[in-house]
Structure 1
Amino acid sequence: MALKASAQTLESTKKLLPIILATAIFMQMLDSTILNTSLPAIAKDLDESPLNMQNAIISYVLTLAVFMPVSGFLADKFGTKKVFIFALFLFGLGSLLCSLSQNLTHLVIARMIQGVGGSLMTPVGKLALIMSFDKKELLKAMNFAIIPALIGPVLGPLVGGYMVDYFSWHWIFLINIPIGILGIVLSLKYMPDYKSPIIDFDLKGFLIFAAASLLLSISLELFGNTVHITPVLMLMLSGFLMLYFYYRHAARDDNPIFPLNLFQVRTFRVGILGNMVTRLGISSIPLLLPMMIQIAYGQSAVTSGWIVAPMALTAMLGKSAVIGILNKYGYRATLMTNTMIIGALICSMAIPSGNASIYWYIPIIAVLGFFNSIQFTAMNSISIADLREYHTSSGNSLVSVNQQLAIGFGIAFGLIVLKIFEGDVKLIQNEIHNAFRYTFLVVGSLTILSGFIFRRLHFKDGDNMKSERADKTNNK
């Protein structure tokens, strides 16, 4: 009887755990993007310059970069359940404090509290998912949980625009509270509590790596918002220098926060590198396309939000198709082909002229959402496909940090390329729309080239992630 109850509990956990993680990811991704369209309204209410309001975004990003590396250790020491619930509570508390902010300083402090919660939520939730599912079940579970990462950035600007126009900016933060409460209630009953007997914390390694993440994040935020490039380059070089110091430290330490032998696992190494380079192009599109629609075509923020909204719907279709595609073609062929298709779609955004209808972009962005869904699921799952149990925690944390930095690099890269073309008046013939067209060609071409990174995968890599149904089909 006890065994039956235990089996039922395990089955309930497996059903609801992806939903719990999806709730956390959706809340975090929505919050990360919903603020962008609301900054002018917040600045006016707080009697601040809109230019100074970037501190509210930067403070959140920097807090994520600093505290994400410690998420694995905290989960190992205190348990995934306690840390995840604490993270949800912190994120909800930070959201409440954001809505109550009376000035920019209050808002920045509240955003940092949100950042601490956000830095733990997704990595710890993913760790619980990885530990709960067999390799053959993990792809399906992760595939479901990752969809909010595609929907959040699309809905964020749209929801933010409507809330500011029809309610007040306070609601862009208050919307997180009921979602967070739902996550806590579900977690109290269904979140498993995994711990590790190894709780030796690499404080020196954490400080070095956190400094590297901090310096790189600051340089990325400043790249697209400054004319003085030399100090920014110095910050970025300092960040890479700290990464080198971490490499030296990890080579000598017995238990570094991110062991170097993680990179001896080919699928992890290719997954990390592919994630970083591929997102240079992919991450810039949700920023560049709405910006072009507003600046070059003179449309409203709400209109630009509706133009990119179909990406969320087609991401659902991608979610339902990706497992079958991976089971049939394998990770190597799927990732190579899919990355090049995404690059070609980004390049195709350069085709319409300044006189073309903005609705020309809807089919492109819709198809892009489908292939993005396949890309993120495949890259995330191949990265952890062959990790040993003792590497799962640190490897998962490093994947999360890498994704955060990759998204920042992608946004900064897109803005830098745009500014370069914008400054060449002769090349763009004094038409700002042409600057966007050339930018799409550059980031799209880079994305196509990044597909060759996945050639380093073996054609059988990821076979241990295939579903049992696929195995039975192949054995017939």
Structure 2
Amino acid sequence: MKTIVPVVLAVALFMENMDSSIISTSLATIAADIGTSPIALKLALTSYYVALATFIPISGRMADRFGPKLVFQCAIAVFMAGSLACAMANSLPGFVAARFLQGMGGAMMTPVGRLLLVRSYSKSDLVSAMAWFSIPAMIGPLVGPPVGGAISTYADWRWIFLINLPIGVVGIFLARRVLPYIAPLQAVRFDWPGFVLSSLACSSLVFGFSIISLPVVPPLFGFALAFAGFGFGLLYIRHANGTPDPLLNLNLFNIPTLRAAIVSGAVFRVGTGALPFLLPLMLQLSFGYSAFASGLISAVSIGGAIGMKFLAKPILRRFGFKNALLITAVLCGFFTAITGFYRPDMALVILLVLLVVGGFFRSLFFTGINALAFADVSGSRSSDATALLSASQQVSIAMGVALAGGILEAGVLLSGQAVPPAGYFTMGFVVAGACTLLALLAIVRLSPSAGSEISGRH
């Protein structure tokens, strides 16, 4: 029970996280086959993230009403349907719609999977469970690009999506057999006005930040959407303050550990969200690596993420959440920034070490904040906490990509070159490192004993 439940959840989440990045190296092949351009096809990437941002806020209430085990299985089924639709798509509108359907399934998998962990494990076992659970978030975006490149090069690109079907069938079978049954809650209220406002806020922010760096769309359009997202967010705050049971319960921010986890995690993800965007481009555009080779190099940080799984619990027991997360934020900021100073005339092993060590500490931070978030949240409020945590994550990741894309776009405009000079990639890594470092500001005010029931440090 202690290992098998997060492993089953991790299989589905790995499928989701890998698929969200796997088409990045296959855009040119897919675009040529369906008769469009790679730049236009990036709308398919954006539609997936918009679907996540739209439906994540309601995921907690759906799990409460119908039971998290059933909702998780249905989410896999919807994701499979979207994958099949992607494989059958023959036009840009069809492919964009199929990716949106995939995103609807993905929007339920992560928060509902996290909810299943929280309700299935005692707080003393939550760190180990979260360690297994967080690995797909690290591995998927790294494995996706080389796998996508290999399939596009040596097979039909449609297999990128068809391979999800057998994985999904196995995931549903294991979920039915292994995941614990958690009864639905009675008298669950759906806050439909809150759903509309929160979805408009999150999707506008994610869509706006995602298209800011798209050359085919004027940047002002992206900024206008992001501004509208902030406006819808303010309207939601006003609505939530006057509603007895809002969809995203903002009163949860009164819990210090959850507030610190959400705020620090959001700031941290702005920095780490830029890495899968910056590193492959630096290796390909500045250093001349192929897409496949850059994907393989990027994937070495998997070793650090896996190594973290065995050490997260003893580290948190030894230092406690506050000290461990403060140290980790500093180290992550350093290793992220220093990676930008690597140059092709240096030994490749230097870059590999930076990526492995950086992957370890990033994964440790993710595991720590995901566990800390539920340290003082009661079981009845855990569904609202998972939805709030997941929604903030999606917005912050989109902000990270927009930040990195904006720096590189500025490099192109200011230099007059088709490719950003290497110095702008360095600047991107330094800014990303600064963002990860700023995550400590939300942690430094925590009590030294925060989350001690979970960490085991008394």
**TM-score category of the 2 structures, normalised to the smaller one:** over 0.9
Q: Is the 8 A contact 2:6 2:132 kept in 1?
A: yes
- What's the counterpart of residue 441 of structure 1? 430
Residue 73 (str. 1) matches residue 61 (str. 2): yes
Q: Is the 8 A contact 2:210 2:222 kept in 1?
A: no
Instruction: Write the letter of the residue equivalent to 1:254.
Output: P
Residue 465 (str. 1) matches residue 454 (str. 2): yes
- What's the counterpart of residue 9 of structure 1? none
Counterparts of 1:211 and 1:302 in 2: how far apart (Å)?
37
- What's the counterpart of residue 386 of structure 2? 396
- Cα deviations across residues 330-387 of structure 1 (Å, max 9, x unaligned)? 1111111111111111121233346445554211111111111101101111112111
Counterparts of 1:76 and 1:372 in 2: how far apart (Å)?
31
- Cα deviations across residues 8-64 of structure 1 (Å, max 9, x unaligned)? xxxx4x442111210111010000010100110001111111111012111111111
List gaps (5 residues or longer) in structure 1: 1-11
SS at match of 2:26: helix
- What's the counterpart of residue 221 of structure 1? 210
Match of 1:293 among 283, 295, 307: 283
Match of 2:199 among 198, 205, 210: 210
Aligned residues: 455
Instruction: Write the letter of the residue equivalent to 1:298.
Output: G
- What's the counterpart of residue 34 of structure 2? 46
Q: Is the 8 A contact 2:10 2:136 kept in 1?
A: yes
Instruction: Write the letter of the residue equivalent to 1:191.
Output: L
- What's the counterpart of residue 10 of structure 2? 22
How does 1:276-355 map onto structure 2 within 5 Å? 276-353=266-343, 355=345
- Cα deviations across residues 263-298 of structure 1 (Å, max 9, x unaligned)? 100011111110111111112112101101100011
TM-score, normalising length: structure 2: 0.95
Residue 126 (str. 1) matches residue 114 (str. 2): yes
- What's the counterpart of residue 271 of structure 1? 261
Instruction: Write the letter of the residue equivalent to 1:433.
Output: A
Q: Is the 8 A contact 1:421 1:439 kept in 2?
A: no
Q: Is the 8 A contact 2:337 2:430 kept in 1?
A: yes
Q: Is the 8 A contact 2:268 2:436 kept in 1?
A: yes
Q: Which runs of 4+ in 1 moved over 6 A?
A: none
Match of 1:191 among 179, 188, 191: 179
How does 1:107-146 map onto structure 2 within 5 Å? 107-146=95-134
* 1:230 shift after superposition: 2.9
Identity %: 35
Q: Is the 8 A contact 2:53 2:203 kept in 1?
A: yes
- Cα deviations across residues 192-221 of structure 1 (Å, max 9, x unaligned)? 332112311111111110110111011111
Counterparts of 1:311 and 1:151 in 2: how far apart (Å)?
8
SS at match of 1:143: helix
How does 1:238-253 map onto structure 2 within 5 Å? 238-253=228-243
C-alpha RMSD of the superposition: 1.8
SS at match of 1:258: coil
List gaps (5 residues or longer) in structure 2: none
- Cα deviations across residues 287-313 of structure 1 (Å, max 9, x unaligned)? 101101100011100110111121111
Match of 2:352 among 358, 362, 371: 362
Residue 424 (str. 1) matches residue 397 (str. 2): no
**Cα 1:431–1:130 shift into 2, 3 Å:** closer
* 1:451 shift after superposition: 2.1
Instruction: Write the letter of the residue equivalent to 2:261.
Output: G
Q: Is the 8 A contact 2:261 2:372 kept in 1?
A: yes
TM-score, normalising length: structure 1: 0.92
- Cα deviations across residues 141-191 of structure 1 (Å, max 9, x unaligned)? 111121111111110001111111111111110111111111100111222
Counterparts of 2:341 and 2:211 in 1: how far apart (Å)?
30
**Cα 1:422–1:431 shift into 2, 3 Å:** closer
Q: Is the 8 A contact 2:128 2:312 kept in 1?
A: no
